[in-house]
Copies of this chain bind each other. A is one copy, B any other.
Amino acid sequence: MLEHPSDRKRLGRVEGLLIDLDGVMYVGDRAIEGAREAVSRLKRSGLPVRFVTNTTTRSRAMLHERVVKLDLPIEPHEIINAPRAAASHLSHIGKPRCRFVVSPDVLEEFEGIERDDMNPEAIVIGDIGDRWDYDLMSELFASLVKGARLIALHKGRYYQGSDGLILDIGAFVTGLEYASGVIATVIGKPSAAFFHAAAADMGIAPDRAAMVGDDIESDVGGAQRAGLAGILVKTGKFRSHLASASSVRPDAVVPSIADLPNLMGV
């Protein structure tokens, strides 16, 4: 792992930053020390910034409410979650007519995309709780066989509920892939589609963007595979033994988000 990156040139080309929220801007209910000032300084320098998260259980409005409570200078449009990245991805591929298999509060992210449940060109799958049944699977399968694309906000196996493990949408996405032979584009870190959509939202090419995260594999490795620079912070879920053991070599490592303005020379 590089403590002092040799590839300064790479960071010198960076024209926009993607910053992970959880673990980089805050941990639990506390903002990271110096995070507020760092973001203000980055913004004053004119560098575009987006805040990215894999959380799909909270709407962007709820995420924004949280950062406002923590007094972090983040605008609603600067937050990019998987639904919004999916919307951006759909625009990028020419706004196909879509069937949205998502929760009602996520649906608002997809304004401006034409809906077509009968004969969609793309199917977008998100969290719909216990609404899965054979008829739905069968309809989606039929559309996929007719040529529809498959887009999944994530492919989670299960999550921890108060009463034990809860089956997540990955089972249904995988089942549809198996039956139809259509492989899903999975949005959300560490998919390239997510990083590309977030960079496009700032209007810059992936190789001119850097991702700042606390997860060496998903954040840094995922970003690098997608063509972005990857910057690791030592807060949140960062563990030095995991970072040392990883084959991922960050373009830079900084103690925390507070050190980012200096690293970027702003």
Residues of A within 8 A of B (CB): 129-135, 137-138, 141-142, 145, 157-158, 164-168, 170-172, 174-176, 178-181
Contact = CB atoms under 8 A, between A and B. Distances in A.
- Identical subunits present: 2
Contacts of A131: 134
Nearest to A130: B134
B179 A141 contact: no
A133 B179 CA distance: 17
Contacts of A168: 179
A67 B239 CA distance: 67
A130 B174 CA distance: 18
A181 B167 CA distance: 12
Contacts of A138: 130, 166-167
A176 B178 CA distance: 12
Contacts of A145: 158, 165
A167 B164 CA distance: 30
Nearest to A133: B133
Given A141-B158, A157-B178, A170-B178, A134 B135 contact: no
21 contacts: A129-B134, A130-B133, A130-B134, A130-B138, A131-B134, A132-B137, A137-B171, A137-B172, A141-B165, A141-B171, A142-B165, A145-B165, A157-B180, A170-B175, A171-B175, A171-B178, A171-B179, A172-B175, A174-B175, A175-B175, A175-B178
A164 B145 CA distance: 10
